[in-house]
Amino acid sequence: MFGKGTDVCCGSCPHAWPNFKNLTSAEMKEMSESRFQSSFTAGETIFKAGSPTSSAVFLSSGIAKIYLEGFDGKKIILGLAKPGYLLAGPGNYVDSTHHYSVVALTDVSACFIDMNLIKSYVQKNPLFAEGYLKDISLKSLRIFYKMISLAQKKMPGRMAEGLLELADEVFKSDEFAPILSRQELGEFTGMAKENVVRILKEFCNEGIISTNGSTITIMDKQKLQLISANG
């Protein structure tokens, strides 16, 4: 399914990027009428690092993984995008190129908004520009802390942190389906997939989590927070 997105105005979309609130209704209407919508099935690539940032992408439903491509095809999953998350990245104002790749983890429907339009609002609308700055700043900060975690915490600490992030920020629940494979969980927490298995098993044995079939449930959140904090 794809096409011009003329059905609902972005202004009334419950999943819109918060910063769109700073647009005038004329700007909102213009943007809304010029956007494109497209669907992706789980596993499909929404955009790849290296491709031009011709559009800003927003999910209206589904979840996608955002990852950096390293050496030898190794990946680092920076985080998961949900509706309301601006998918454009810092390359937009540097070399007009994406520097991370985005792949749908579930079936996804996405809105594509012309980047030149976004950039023109940045120039015309100071509040919108400030909102964009806030967005990119917050994402930078998260990268800082991800970097500290990867560089200084040991595997159990990183896994605990990763599970807490999935529970608290992505799924908003202490019980969640394994939207990420063990391989991906490893790319998310910076370890080999074999070690993901071992550490999850360890957490199970200690009663910190339980893995019912393919669902992970956090049983002892305090302990998990302790492990995360102590590295």
Binding residues vs a second copy (CB under 8 A): 68, 70-72, 74, 76, 90-94, 99-100, 119, 122-124, 126-127, 129-130, 132-134, 136-141, 143-144, 146-148, 150-153, 190, 231
Question: Closest approach of Cβ 30 to DNA, in Å?
Answer: 41
Question: Closest approach of Cβ 180 to DNA, in Å?
Answer: 8
Question: ∠ CA 101-105-110 to the nearest 5 degrees?
Answer: 70
Q: What is the CA radius of gyration of the chain?
A: 19
Q: Which stretch binds DNA (CB under 7 A): 10-18, 119-127, 168-176, 196-204?
A: 196-204
Which of a second copy, DNA, none is residue 211 near (CB under 5 to 8 Å by kind)?
DNA
**Which residue in 63, 200, 208, 216 binds DNA (CB under 7 A)?**
200
Tokens of 122: 């940045």
Cβ(67)–Cβ(77) below 8 Å: yes
Which of a second copy, DNA, none is residue 76 near (CB under 5 to 8 Å by kind)?
a second copy
Query: By CB under 7 A, is residue 182 in contact with DNA?
Result: yes
Q: Name which of 50 and 126 has its Cβ closer to a second copy.
A: 126
**Which residue in 197, 207, 217, 226 binds DNA (CB under 7 A)?**
197
Q: Which amino acid is at 58?
A: F
Query: By CB under 7 A, is residue 193 in contact with DNA?
Result: yes
Cβ(120)–Cβ(56) below 8 Å: no
| Burial of 17 (C-beta count, 10 Å sphere; 0-12/13-18/19+) | buried
Question: Closest approach of Cβ 171 to a second copy, in Å?
Answer: 24
**CA 140, CA 10: separation in Å to the nearest integer?**
26
**CA 32, CA 36: separation in Å to the nearest integer?**
9
Helix then strand then coil, in percent of the chain rounded to 5, is 45, 25, 30
Residues engaged in binding DNA (CB under 7 A): 154-156, 178, 181-183, 190-195, 197-198, 200-201, 211
